[in-house]
C-alpha cells in the first residue's frame, strides 16, 4: 500500500486517493474550431510513460486535486503540487 502526499492534508494511505488523468493536457477552447484529431488527442492520447510520470489525482476525503509526480517503476513518490494556481 502506497503513501501519497496530499498537498493540504499531508501523507495518507493510497486508499484515500483517486486517479483522474495524466497531467499536462489543457482543455481546448471549445468555443472555437477544434479538429477531430486535436479533440481525439485531448480525449484519448495517453503517454503511459515508464518511469517518471505526472498525474492528476484527487484526495477523495478533502477533495483536493493535485499533480502527483511518481516513478511508475519503483513506485517512489517524487512530489505533489496542488493543481490550482494560487494555492496557499
Q: Which grid cell sits at 17?
A: 486517493
| Closest approach of other proteins to the CB of residue 68, in Å | 13
Chain Cα centroid distance, residue 36: 24
Site for other proteins contains 2 (CB under 8 A): yes
Task: Give residue 63's region: left, alpha or beta (phi > 0; psi -120 to 50).
Answer: left
Site for other proteins contains 78 (CB under 8 A): no
Please give the backbone phi and psi of residue 70, each rounded to the nearest 5 degrees, phi first. Answer: -150, 170
Our CB check for other proteins shows the closer of 44 and 48 to be 44
Site for other proteins contains 55 (CB under 8 A): no
Site for other proteins contains 29 (CB under 8 A): yes
Report the half-sphere exposure of 4 (CA within 13 A, side-chain side): 26
Site for other proteins contains 81 (CB under 8 A): no
Question: Which spans in 3-57 are helix H?
Answer: 36-44
Contact residues toward other proteins (CB under 8 A) are 1-3, 6, 8-16, 18, 20, 27-31, 34, 36, 39, 42-43, 56, 58, 60-65, 74-75, 77, 82-84, 86-88
Amino acid at each position: 500500500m502506497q503513501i501519497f502526499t496530499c498537498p493540504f492534508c499531508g501523507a495518507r494511505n493510497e486508499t484515500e486517493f483517486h486517479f483522474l488523468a495524466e497531467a499536462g493536457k489543457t482543455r481546448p477552447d471549445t468555443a472555437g474550431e477544434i479538429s477531430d484529431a486535436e479533440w481525439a488527442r485531448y480525449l484519448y492520447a495517453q503517454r503511459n510513460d515508464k518511469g517518471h510520470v505526472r498525474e492528476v489525482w484527487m484526495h477523495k476525503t478533502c477533495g483536493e486535486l493535485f499533480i502527483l509526480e511518481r516513478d511508475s517503476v519503483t513506485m517512489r513518490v517524487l512530489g505533489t503540487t496542488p493543481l490550482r494556481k494560487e494555492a496557499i
